[in-house]
Structure 1
Amino acid sequence: MTIQELEQFIATYGTDIYSFCVYLTGNRPEAEELYQDTFLKTLELLDKIQKDGNPKSYLLSVAIRIWKNRNRKINRRNSIAPMESEEPMEPAAGGNGERSEVEDHLLKKEEIRYVQTTLRKLPEKYRIPLCLYYREELTIEDIAGCLRIPQGTVKSRLHKAREKMKEELEAAGYDR
Protein backbone atom coordinates (compact mmCIF):
# COMPACT_ATOMS: atom_id res chain seq x y z
CA MET A 1 0.00 0.00 0.00
CA THR A 2 1.24 3.47 -0.81
CA ILE A 3 1.11 6.74 1.12
CA GLN A 4 -1.44 8.06 -1.40
CA GLU A 5 -3.73 5.11 -0.64
CA LEU A 6 -3.37 5.78 3.08
CA GLU A 7 -4.28 9.43 2.48
CA GLN A 8 -7.35 8.20 0.59
CA PHE A 9 -8.30 5.97 3.56
CA ILE A 10 -7.90 8.92 5.92
CA ALA A 11 -10.14 11.02 3.68
CA THR A 12 -12.69 8.21 3.39
CA TYR A 13 -12.73 6.77 6.92
CA GLY A 14 -11.19 9.54 9.02
CA THR A 15 -14.50 10.90 10.31
CA ASP A 16 -15.75 7.44 11.29
CA ILE A 17 -12.50 6.58 13.03
CA TYR A 18 -12.49 9.90 14.88
CA SER A 19 -16.10 9.50 16.08
CA PHE A 20 -15.27 5.98 17.25
CA CYS A 21 -12.24 7.33 19.13
CA VAL A 22 -14.46 9.93 20.82
CA TYR A 23 -16.85 7.15 21.79
CA LEU A 24 -14.06 4.97 23.21
CA THR A 25 -12.31 7.68 25.20
CA GLY A 26 -15.30 9.77 26.21
CA ASN A 27 -13.58 13.10 25.57
CA ARG A 28 -12.17 14.98 22.62
CA PRO A 29 -8.54 15.58 23.67
CA GLU A 30 -7.93 11.89 24.35
CA ALA A 31 -9.85 11.01 21.18
CA GLU A 32 -7.65 13.28 19.11
CA GLU A 33 -4.54 11.66 20.55
CA LEU A 34 -5.94 8.17 19.92
CA TYR A 35 -6.91 9.17 16.38
CA GLN A 36 -3.40 10.43 15.62
CA ASP A 37 -1.79 7.38 17.20
CA THR A 38 -4.07 5.12 15.16
CA PHE A 39 -2.91 6.61 11.88
CA LEU A 40 0.72 6.74 13.01
CA LYS A 41 0.56 3.03 13.83
CA THR A 42 -1.19 2.41 10.52
CA LEU A 43 1.64 4.21 8.78
CA GLU A 44 4.09 1.84 10.48
CA LEU A 45 2.01 -1.17 9.43
CA LEU A 46 1.31 0.08 5.92
CA ASP A 47 2.35 -3.20 4.30
CA LYS A 48 -0.19 -5.21 6.32
CA ILE A 49 -3.27 -3.32 5.13
CA GLN A 50 -5.14 -5.19 2.46
CA LYS A 51 -6.83 -2.72 0.18
CA ASP A 52 -9.14 -5.49 -1.11
CA GLY A 53 -10.33 -6.27 2.43
CA ASN A 54 -12.13 -3.92 4.78
CA PRO A 55 -9.69 -1.14 5.69
CA LYS A 56 -12.20 0.53 8.01
CA SER A 57 -12.35 -2.53 10.27
CA TYR A 58 -8.54 -2.71 10.19
CA LEU A 59 -8.27 0.93 11.27
CA LEU A 60 -10.87 0.38 14.00
CA SER A 61 -8.97 -2.65 15.28
CA VAL A 62 -5.76 -0.60 15.46
CA ALA A 63 -7.61 2.08 17.47
CA ILE A 64 -9.09 -0.55 19.81
CA ARG A 65 -5.70 -2.17 20.44
CA ILE A 66 -4.03 1.16 21.19
CA TRP A 67 -6.90 2.13 23.50
CA LYS A 68 -6.81 -1.21 25.35
CA ASN A 69 -3.05 -0.93 25.82
CA ARG A 70 -3.45 2.57 27.26
CA ASN A 71 -6.16 1.38 29.64
CA ARG A 72 -3.97 -1.49 30.82
CA LYS A 73 -1.15 0.96 31.50
CA ILE A 74 -3.48 3.34 33.36
CA ASN A 75 -4.97 0.49 35.40
CA ARG A 76 -1.48 -0.74 36.34
CA ARG A 77 -0.52 2.76 37.44
CA ASN A 78 -3.76 3.19 39.37
CA SER A 79 -3.20 -0.09 41.19
CA ILE A 80 0.12 1.31 42.40
CA ALA A 81 -0.97 4.91 43.04
CA PRO A 82 -4.74 5.41 42.64
CA MET A 83 -6.02 8.65 41.15
CA GLU A 84 -9.46 9.96 42.12
CA SER A 85 -11.74 11.23 39.38
CA GLU A 86 -15.40 11.56 40.16
CA GLU A 87 -17.74 13.05 37.59
CA PRO A 88 -20.33 15.39 39.10
CA MET A 89 -23.94 14.33 38.75
CA GLU A 90 -26.11 16.57 36.62
CA PRO A 91 -29.52 17.50 37.99
CA ALA A 92 -32.50 15.87 36.31
CA ALA A 93 -34.96 18.02 34.39
CA GLY A 94 -38.16 18.76 36.27
CA GLY A 95 -41.44 20.41 35.41
CA ASN A 96 -44.61 21.85 36.86
CA GLY A 97 -47.77 21.15 34.95
CA GLU A 98 -48.00 20.71 31.21
CA ARG A 99 -44.97 19.67 29.19
CA SER A 100 -43.76 22.01 26.50
CA GLU A 101 -41.64 21.25 23.46
CA VAL A 102 -38.56 22.34 25.38
CA GLU A 103 -39.36 19.93 28.21
CA ASP A 104 -39.98 17.11 25.74
CA HIS A 105 -36.65 17.87 24.10
CA LEU A 106 -34.88 17.89 27.47
CA LEU A 107 -36.52 14.62 28.48
CA LYS A 108 -35.45 13.03 25.20
CA LYS A 109 -31.89 14.26 25.76
CA GLU A 110 -31.98 12.86 29.30
CA GLU A 111 -33.19 9.52 27.95
CA ILE A 112 -30.35 9.43 25.40
CA ARG A 113 -27.86 10.36 28.12
CA TYR A 114 -29.17 7.53 30.31
CA VAL A 115 -28.85 5.00 27.49
CA GLN A 116 -25.28 6.18 26.84
CA THR A 117 -24.45 5.95 30.54
CA THR A 118 -25.92 2.46 30.68
CA LEU A 119 -23.89 1.48 27.64
CA ARG A 120 -20.71 2.81 29.25
CA LYS A 121 -21.41 0.66 32.33
CA LEU A 122 -21.30 -2.50 30.24
CA PRO A 123 -18.09 -4.51 30.44
CA GLU A 124 -15.69 -3.71 27.62
CA LYS A 125 -16.11 -7.12 26.01
CA TYR A 126 -19.81 -6.38 25.45
CA ARG A 127 -19.66 -2.64 24.86
CA ILE A 128 -17.13 -2.62 22.02
CA PRO A 129 -18.88 -5.20 19.78
CA LEU A 130 -22.19 -3.41 20.36
CA CYS A 131 -20.65 -0.10 19.32
CA LEU A 132 -18.95 -1.61 16.28
CA TYR A 133 -22.19 -3.24 15.19
CA TYR A 134 -24.60 -0.34 15.68
CA ARG A 135 -22.47 2.82 15.47
CA GLU A 136 -19.89 1.75 12.91
CA GLU A 137 -22.28 -0.63 11.10
CA LEU A 138 -19.67 -3.38 10.75
CA THR A 139 -20.72 -6.93 9.94
CA ILE A 140 -20.24 -9.71 12.45
CA GLU A 141 -17.43 -11.05 10.26
CA ASP A 142 -15.66 -7.67 10.29
CA ILE A 143 -16.11 -7.31 14.06
CA ALA A 144 -14.64 -10.78 14.56
CA GLY A 145 -11.64 -9.82 12.47
CA CYS A 146 -11.31 -6.48 14.19
CA LEU A 147 -11.36 -7.97 17.69
CA ARG A 148 -9.59 -11.20 16.68
CA ILE A 149 -12.31 -13.43 18.12
CA PRO A 150 -14.58 -16.05 16.49
CA GLN A 151 -17.85 -14.94 14.87
CA GLY A 152 -19.84 -17.05 17.34
CA THR A 153 -18.26 -15.14 20.20
CA VAL A 154 -19.24 -11.84 18.56
CA LYS A 155 -22.83 -13.06 18.21
CA SER A 156 -23.03 -14.22 21.82
CA ARG A 157 -21.49 -10.98 23.12
CA LEU A 158 -23.95 -8.90 21.08
CA HIS A 159 -26.82 -10.99 22.46
CA LYS A 160 -25.61 -10.67 26.05
CA ALA A 161 -25.00 -6.94 25.61
CA ARG A 162 -28.54 -6.43 24.33
CA GLU A 163 -29.92 -8.45 27.23
CA LYS A 164 -27.94 -6.47 29.81
CA MET A 165 -29.00 -3.16 28.24
CA LYS A 166 -32.63 -4.28 28.17
CA GLU A 167 -32.56 -5.35 31.84
CA GLU A 168 -30.94 -2.11 32.96
CA LEU A 169 -33.28 0.12 30.94
CA GLU A 170 -36.39 -1.79 32.04
CA ALA A 171 -35.27 -1.52 35.68
CA ALA A 172 -35.05 2.26 35.19
CA GLY A 173 -38.56 2.42 33.72
CA TYR A 174 -37.78 2.54 30.01
CA ASP A 175 -40.14 -0.11 28.64
CA ARG A 176 -39.55 0.34 24.91
Structure 2
Amino acid sequence: METEMVSQLIDQFGMDVMRFCRKLTFCSEDAQDLYQQTFLKLMELRVAIRKEENPRAFLFSIANGIWKNECRKLRRRARIAPSISISRMQEENEQIQDSADTQSQVLEQMQQEELRRAVERLEPKYKTPIILMYTFGMKVEEIAKIEHLPQATVKTRLRRARQKLKTEMEERGYGI
Protein backbone atom coordinates (compact mmCIF):
# COMPACT_ATOMS: atom_id res chain seq x y z
CA MET A 1 0.00 0.00 0.00
CA GLU A 2 1.26 3.45 -0.83
CA THR A 3 2.36 5.73 1.97
CA GLU A 4 0.00 8.48 0.77
CA MET A 5 -2.99 6.17 1.16
CA VAL A 6 -1.84 5.08 4.62
CA SER A 7 -1.35 8.73 5.55
CA GLN A 8 -4.90 9.51 4.42
CA LEU A 9 -6.26 6.60 6.45
CA ILE A 10 -4.34 7.78 9.51
CA ASP A 11 -5.73 11.29 9.09
CA GLN A 12 -9.24 10.00 8.58
CA PHE A 13 -9.46 7.08 11.03
CA GLY A 14 -6.36 7.35 13.22
CA MET A 15 -8.18 8.71 16.26
CA ASP A 16 -10.83 5.97 16.09
CA VAL A 17 -8.19 3.27 15.75
CA MET A 18 -6.27 4.71 18.71
CA ARG A 19 -9.44 4.79 20.85
CA PHE A 20 -10.15 1.20 19.87
CA CYS A 21 -6.60 0.20 20.79
CA ARG A 22 -6.93 1.91 24.18
CA LYS A 23 -10.20 0.14 24.87
CA LEU A 24 -8.70 -3.22 23.98
CA THR A 25 -5.50 -2.82 25.97
CA PHE A 26 -6.52 -0.53 28.87
CA CYS A 27 -2.93 0.73 28.84
CA SER A 28 -1.74 3.76 26.86
CA GLU A 29 1.72 2.32 26.10
CA ASP A 30 0.28 -0.96 24.81
CA ALA A 31 -2.35 0.99 22.86
CA GLN A 32 0.34 3.05 21.12
CA ASP A 33 2.25 -0.12 20.21
CA LEU A 34 -0.92 -1.75 18.88
CA TYR A 35 -1.77 1.39 16.90
CA GLN A 36 1.66 1.43 15.25
CA GLN A 37 1.57 -2.29 14.55
CA THR A 38 -1.84 -1.89 12.91
CA PHE A 39 -0.62 0.63 10.36
CA LEU A 40 2.65 -1.25 9.81
CA LYS A 41 0.63 -4.39 9.09
CA LEU A 42 -1.54 -2.39 6.70
CA MET A 43 1.57 -1.33 4.80
CA GLU A 44 2.85 -4.93 4.76
CA LEU A 45 -0.44 -6.26 3.38
CA ARG A 46 -0.30 -4.01 0.33
CA VAL A 47 -4.04 -4.22 -0.22
CA ALA A 48 -6.19 -1.63 -1.94
CA ILE A 49 -8.85 -0.24 0.36
CA ARG A 50 -11.93 1.19 -1.25
CA LYS A 51 -13.93 3.77 0.70
CA GLU A 52 -17.23 2.03 -0.04
CA GLU A 53 -16.01 -1.12 1.79
CA ASN A 54 -15.72 0.54 5.24
CA PRO A 55 -11.97 1.07 5.74
CA ARG A 56 -12.51 1.87 9.43
CA ALA A 57 -13.84 -1.64 10.06
CA PHE A 58 -10.91 -3.08 8.09
CA LEU A 59 -8.44 -1.18 10.31
CA PHE A 60 -10.28 -2.36 13.44
CA SER A 61 -10.08 -5.89 12.10
CA ILE A 62 -6.30 -5.63 11.69
CA ALA A 63 -5.88 -4.19 15.20
CA ASN A 64 -8.15 -6.85 16.66
CA GLY A 65 -6.21 -9.65 14.96
CA ILE A 66 -2.90 -8.32 16.23
CA TRP A 67 -4.34 -7.94 19.73
CA LYS A 68 -5.69 -11.50 19.76
CA ASN A 69 -2.25 -12.80 18.77
CA GLU A 70 -0.63 -10.73 21.52
CA CYS A 71 -3.10 -12.07 24.09
CA ARG A 72 -2.34 -15.63 23.07
CA LYS A 73 1.37 -14.94 23.38
CA LEU A 74 0.91 -13.32 26.81
CA ARG A 75 -1.19 -16.23 28.07
CA ARG A 76 1.52 -18.67 27.04
CA ARG A 77 4.15 -16.55 28.79
CA ALA A 78 1.97 -16.15 31.89
CA ARG A 79 1.77 -19.91 32.28
CA ILE A 80 5.55 -20.01 32.32
CA ALA A 81 6.27 -16.89 34.44
CA PRO A 82 3.42 -14.71 35.82
CA SER A 83 4.06 -10.95 35.98
CA ILE A 84 2.50 -7.78 37.45
CA SER A 85 1.74 -4.65 35.42
CA ILE A 86 3.52 -1.76 37.12
CA SER A 87 1.95 0.86 34.85
CA ARG A 88 -1.56 -0.23 35.86
CA MET A 89 -0.65 -0.01 39.54
CA GLN A 90 0.70 3.51 38.98
CA GLU A 91 -2.45 4.58 37.10
CA GLU A 92 -4.67 3.30 39.91
CA ASN A 93 -2.58 5.12 42.54
CA GLU A 94 -2.81 8.38 40.55
CA GLN A 95 -6.58 8.03 40.30
CA ILE A 96 -6.85 7.54 44.06
CA GLN A 97 -4.68 10.60 44.78
CA ASP A 98 -6.61 12.86 42.38
CA SER A 99 -10.03 12.10 43.89
CA ALA A 100 -11.02 15.34 45.65
CA ASP A 101 -14.51 15.35 44.09
CA THR A 102 -17.90 15.36 45.73
CA GLN A 103 -19.30 12.12 47.08
CA SER A 104 -21.68 11.51 44.17
CA GLN A 105 -18.92 12.06 41.62
CA VAL A 106 -16.64 9.69 43.50
CA LEU A 107 -19.34 7.03 43.62
CA GLU A 108 -19.99 7.46 39.89
CA GLN A 109 -16.29 7.16 39.16
CA MET A 110 -16.07 4.04 41.30
CA GLN A 111 -18.97 2.48 39.45
CA GLN A 112 -17.45 3.36 36.07
CA GLU A 113 -14.09 1.97 37.18
CA GLU A 114 -15.71 -1.25 38.40
CA LEU A 115 -17.51 -1.58 35.08
CA ARG A 116 -14.27 -0.91 33.16
CA ARG A 117 -12.49 -3.58 35.21
CA ALA A 118 -15.37 -5.99 34.68
CA VAL A 119 -15.12 -5.43 30.92
CA GLU A 120 -11.36 -5.89 31.12
CA ARG A 121 -11.83 -9.24 32.90
CA LEU A 122 -14.13 -10.57 30.18
CA GLU A 123 -12.75 -13.17 27.85
CA PRO A 124 -11.52 -11.58 24.59
CA LYS A 125 -14.33 -13.17 22.62
CA TYR A 126 -16.82 -11.21 24.78
CA LYS A 127 -14.77 -8.08 25.41
CA THR A 128 -14.17 -7.08 21.78
CA PRO A 129 -17.84 -7.05 20.69
CA ILE A 130 -18.82 -5.07 23.81
CA ILE A 131 -16.14 -2.46 23.14
CA LEU A 132 -17.02 -2.19 19.45
CA MET A 133 -20.73 -1.81 20.11
CA TYR A 134 -20.81 0.46 23.15
CA THR A 135 -17.70 2.55 22.59
CA PHE A 136 -17.69 2.85 18.82
CA GLY A 137 -21.39 2.44 18.15
CA MET A 138 -20.86 -0.29 15.59
CA LYS A 139 -23.70 -2.44 14.39
CA VAL A 140 -23.77 -6.20 14.75
CA GLU A 141 -23.07 -6.59 11.01
CA GLU A 142 -19.88 -4.53 11.27
CA ILE A 143 -18.72 -6.39 14.37
CA ALA A 144 -19.35 -9.70 12.61
CA LYS A 145 -17.21 -8.56 9.70
CA ILE A 146 -14.37 -7.46 11.99
CA GLU A 147 -14.48 -10.63 14.07
CA HIS A 148 -14.99 -12.88 11.02
CA LEU A 149 -18.04 -14.45 12.66
CA PRO A 150 -21.71 -14.95 11.80
CA GLN A 151 -24.04 -12.23 13.06
CA ALA A 152 -25.89 -14.69 15.29
CA THR A 153 -22.63 -15.55 17.07
CA VAL A 154 -21.92 -11.85 17.66
CA LYS A 155 -25.42 -11.34 19.08
CA THR A 156 -24.98 -14.34 21.38
CA ARG A 157 -21.60 -13.09 22.59
CA LEU A 158 -23.03 -9.62 23.23
CA ARG A 159 -25.92 -11.08 25.22
CA ARG A 160 -23.63 -13.34 27.26
CA ALA A 161 -21.19 -10.48 27.89
CA ARG A 162 -24.00 -8.24 29.12
CA GLN A 163 -25.22 -11.04 31.40
CA LYS A 164 -21.73 -11.57 32.81
CA LEU A 165 -21.28 -7.84 33.38
CA LYS A 166 -24.69 -7.52 35.04
CA THR A 167 -24.00 -10.47 37.34
CA GLU A 168 -20.58 -9.18 38.32
CA MET A 169 -21.80 -5.64 38.96
CA GLU A 170 -24.70 -6.94 41.07
CA GLU A 171 -22.28 -9.09 43.08
CA ARG A 172 -20.31 -5.93 43.80
CA GLY A 173 -23.44 -4.14 45.01
CA TYR A 174 -24.32 -2.05 41.97
CA GLY A 175 -27.72 -1.98 40.29
CA ILE A 176 -29.60 -3.81 43.01
What TM-score range do you get, normalising by the shorter chain? 0.7 to 0.9
User: Residues of 1 paired with 2:136 and 2:105: CA distance?
Assistant: 26
Would you say the 8 A contact 1:18–1:31 is kept in 2? yes
Please tell me whether residue 51 in structure 1 is matched to residue 47 in structure 2.
no
User: Residues of 2 paired with 1:157 and 1:55: CA distance?
Assistant: 24
Matching residue's letter, 2:134? Y
SS at 1:146 equivalent: helix
Matching residue's letter, 1:43? M
Larger radius of gyration: 1
Deviation at 1:154, TM superposition (A): 0.5
Structure 1 runs of 4+ with >4 Å offset? 86-90
- For 1:18-33, list aligned pairs within 5 A: 18-33=18-33
Query: Which fold has the larger relative contact order, with Cα–Cα distance below 8 Å and residues 6 or more apart in sequence?
Result: 2
Matching residue's letter, 1:110? M
SS at 1:47 equivalent: coil
Would you say the 8 A contact 2:2–2:43 is kept in 1? no
Would you say the 8 A contact 1:140–1:154 is kept in 2? yes
Deviation at 1:124, TM superposition (A): 1.2
User: Identity of aligned pairs, percent?
Assistant: 35
- Aligned-CA RMSD value: 2.2
Q: Which structure is higher in helix share?
A: 2
User: Residues of 1 paired with 2:156 and 2:44: CA distance?
Assistant: 33
In structure 2, the partner of 1:82 is 81
Deviation at 1:25, TM superposition (A): 1.5
Query: What is the CA deviation profile of residues 31-87 of structure 1, one whole-angstrom value per residue up to 9, with x for unaligned ones?
Result: 1111001001011223253332111111011001111111212222233x3133166
Matching residue's letter, 1:172? R
Deviation at 1:2, TM superposition (A): 4.5
In structure 1, the partner of 2:164 is 164
User: Residues of 1 paired with 2:120 and 2:147: CA distance?
Assistant: 18
- Structure 2: state its 5+ residue gaps: none
- TM-score with structure 1 setting the length: 0.85
User: Residues of 1 paired with 2:173 and 2:62: CA distance?
Assistant: 38
SS at 1:58 equivalent: helix
- Structure 1: state its 5+ residue gaps: 94-99
In structure 1, the partner of 2:136 is 136
